[in-house]
Amino acid sequence: MDSSAVTVSTLAEEVYDRVRAGITSGTLAPGSRLSIRSLAEQLSVSTMPVREALKRLQAEGFVVFERRSVTVVSLTADELHQVFAIRLHLEQLAAEWALPRLTPADVSELRAVLEQMADERLETSRWRALNRRFHQRFYECAASPYLLDLITGVWDRVEPYMAIYASTVEDFSEAHRQHLRMLQLIEAKDLSALLAETHWHLEHTSRTVAEALAEARQAPT
């Protein structure tokens, strides 16, 4: 999480944005306990805007206030499965709407993102950002701000667990193969095959994350 000082003019909103970004990026990991005072010190603000930000995040389901602490929400295996299932249906709908509107320029931009992702020297955080951009750029072609907003909300729920995915796999070669296959089907405008590939892609990702979570929870503390 960026710990540089927050400007006074946008205090409340910036504190919220910083803490939310820390949660969705996985920097503030699922299950971790947050100290209002420590966050305030990191952001060089008083405790009041931090408390307000956390209350807002609680309303959105990102944190939970307990008797003496605030904890980042940690999804169970079943909840994670549900979120990925929701993501699958939303993204399949977006694909259905996007393909008829796809242009050669769109395909070129998607290919350019994958070319960047192929760099083996990429840091994990950069790969994750490009991974999200690849998917989002395609779904923007659906020309539905409402659908894109729903997908973004689900991605924000999943993103902390993508950090687990990225740290678990030996490399991103399998993910890259799947992305290239998706791009091939996008360019061919083969909807049925693309829907099937999207299903496999998300199932593979969710299974990898679920296995990593299970191992972490079974590990001795």
Domain boundaries, the chain: 8-72, 77-218
More confident residue, 185 or 10: 185
Mean pLDDT over 94-104 rounds to 97
| Residues counted in the chain | 221
Quote the CA–CA distance of 3 and 36 in Å, as a whole number.
14
Is pLDDT of 97 > 90?
A: yes
Mean pLDDT over 107-123 rounds to 94
- Strands 33-34 and 70-72, sheet pairing: antiparallel
Task: List, in sequence order, every residue forming a beta bridge with 78; answer none if it has no partner.
Answer: none
Is pLDDT of 167 > 70?
A: yes
| Predicted local distance difference test score (pLDDT) of residue 2 | 61
The answer to whether 38 touches 77, Cβ cutoff 8 Å, is no
Quote the CA–CA distance of 215 and 221 in Å, as a whole number.
12
Instruction: State the pTM of this model.
Output: 0.81
* Residue percentage of the chain with pLDDT more than 90: 54
The answer to whether 122 touches 131, Cβ cutoff 8 Å, is no
Domain at 8-72, CATH from 3.40.50.300, 1.10.10.10, 3.40.640.10, 3.30.70.100: 1.10.10.10
| Predicted local distance difference test score (pLDDT) of residue 9 | 46
More confident residue, 184 or 32: 184
Mean pLDDT over 126-141 rounds to 94
Rounded to 10°, the helix 11-25/36-43 angle is: 110
214 falls in which pLDDT band (50, 70, 90)?
Answer: confident
Is pLDDT of 119 > 80?
A: yes
Residue-averaged pLDDT of the chain: 88
| Predicted local distance difference test score (pLDDT) of residue 200 | 94
Tell me, letter by letter, the H, E, C secondary structure of the chain.
CCCCCCCHHHHHHHHHHHHHHHHHHCCCCCCCEECHHHHHHHHCCCHHHHHHHHHHHHHCCCEEECCCCEEECCCCHHHHHHHHHHHHHHHHHHHHHHHHHCCHHHHHHHHHHHHHHCCCCCCHHHHHHHHHHHHHHHHHCCCCHHHHHHHHHHHHHHHHHHHHHHHHCCCCHHHHHHHHHHHHHHHHCCHHHHHHHHHHHHHHHHHHHHHHHHHHHHCCC
| Predicted local distance difference test score (pLDDT) of residue 218 | 63
**77-218: in CATH 1.20.1630.10:** no
| Predicted local distance difference test score (pLDDT) of residue 186 | 97
For residue range 28-39, what is the model confidence (pLDDT) as tens digits?
Answer: 888 889 999 999
